[in-house]
Amino acid sequence: MASGLEAVGIAASFIELAKVGIELSRLVNQVVEARSYIKALIQEIKLGASVLELLGGVFKQEAKDQICSAGAIEAANNIATAYRKVFDELKLAVNKYSITNDGSTKTTFRAIATWPVREVRINALLASLERSKSNANIMLQVITLARISRAQ
């Protein structure tokens, strides 16, 4: 027959194992959620690139029309620099964990497994990307208003 002390030791072992199991389930949940988050990250980057493409087209036309002030040109350069910095940092944070085959990106197991560690940094970069995108949108609106004013 087991002593009361042995029973307490076994109970403590089971309680400790339960804690480990709960922590493991949290980690697995984060890993599962990482795949959808990484896909959303890719879409956010594509959206930012589309805004940059629009802004590039506007400034290509600007070279002909010369509507913008020197301050607007400087602000646009600052926006481009901010985007470049965020894109470069995101590329470093994500690229080494993805495999590119025929232009497509496959999320590796390592990328998913290390996601909980990298999530905080990537969220900060996404916030910077969002600010840059907002600034680019404001720049587009200012240029549009300048063109409207000039046409009138």
Task: Give me the tens of pLDDT residue by residue for the chain, a chain 152 residues long.
Answer: 556 677 777 778 878 888 888 887 777 777 667 777 777 777 888 888 888 888 888 777 776 777 777 787 788 888 888 888 888 887 777 665 555 566 565 666 776 677 777 778 878 888 888 888 888 888 888 888 887 887 77
Q: Is the entire prediction scored with pTM above 0.85?
A: no
Three-state secondary structure call for residue 87: helix
7 to 15, 18, 20, 21, 74: CA distances (angstroms)? 12, 16, 20, 21, 74
Phi and psi torsions of 106, nearest 5°: -115, 130
Distance CA 152, CA 147 (A): 9
